[in-house]
Chain A
């Protein structure tokens, strides 16, 4: 059974640009959550999508947004990139909502901002 797939694995952008990251969940999983991981702040919850609707959101500015498609695949967009956005972005999927079911993580997209 294929795991959670995130693309691309690595990305380099410059300040002010925008970026879109992609996540394909495990087949049959309806929830996709996004996380940011940095050495200083650790792992932080961004938001969760379930059946194409955002269900929960962490404490991140509106520059961070996402969406989920009917096949459960999800994208996360970050606009007006800042140096502090350099991080590992992780996607996780679960059968039910993320808060009620174990989450399965992908290996992340490492985003570097120059």
Chain B
């Protein structure tokens, strides 16, 4: 059974304090790993898709990386507007079902 865990559950950073969020997964053949951010009262917003180990993608202050067992979302010099819950999800090669992790709730203090 495909599983996704995320750590930490919650993270508080000072503005400008870089850090990383972890997404660990077990899947029967990875077809894709997805990162989303979700603001309170809103639907998730797509950030990245990663397909194979070693792949990296960047968007503004965010950089996502992928290994065979986990993915990291690196946040460089975060700003208060980066505060949100970050979700990762995996899709296996059978392509039948997204499995989401529980999310990391990030708070960036000014």
Interface residues of A (CB under 8 A from B): 4, 42-45, 56-59, 90, 92, 98-99, 102-108
> Do residues A99 and B91 form an inter-chain contact, with CB atoms below 8 A?
yes
**With contacts defined as CB atoms under 8 Å apart, how many contacts are there between chain A and chain B in the complex?**
45
Taking CB as reference atom, which chain B residue is nearest A94? Answer: B46
Considering only residues 67-105 of chain B, those with a C-beta below 8 Å from chain A are 87, 89, 91, 95-103
Within 8 A of A (CB), among B36-50: 36, 41-46, 49
Q: Please, which residues of chain B bring their CB within 8 A of the CB of A106?
A: 43
Query: Is B95's CB under 8 angstroms from A99's CB?
Result: yes
**8 Å CB contact of A105 from B44, B95, B99, B103:** B44
Q: Which residues of A contact B43 (CB under 8 A)?
A: 4, 90, 92, 105-108
Which residues of the other chain, A, contact B12 by a CB distance below 8 angstroms? none
Interface residue total, chain B, C-beta cutoff 8 A: 22
Instruction: Name the prevailing secondary structure of the B interface residues.
Output: strand
- Contact of B61 with A by CB under 8 A: no
Question: Which residue on chain A has the smallest CB distance to residue B91?
Answer: A99
Q: Are B46 and A103 in contact (CB under 8 A)?
A: yes
Q: How far is the CB of A64 from chain B (nearest CB, A)?
A: 14
- CB atoms of B46 and A104 under 8 A apart: yes
Closest to B102 in A: A42
8 CB < 8 A contacts A-B:
A4-B43, A42-B100, A43-B89, A44-B100, A45-B98, A92-B44, A102-B49, A105-B45
| CB-CB nearest 3 A-B residue pairs | A105-B43, A43-B100, A102-B46
Contacts of A104 on B, CB cut-off 8 Å? Answer: 46
Nearest CB in chain A: distance from B62 CB, A: 15
Against A, the Cβ 8 Å flags (1 = close, 0 = not) of B48-62 are 010000000000000
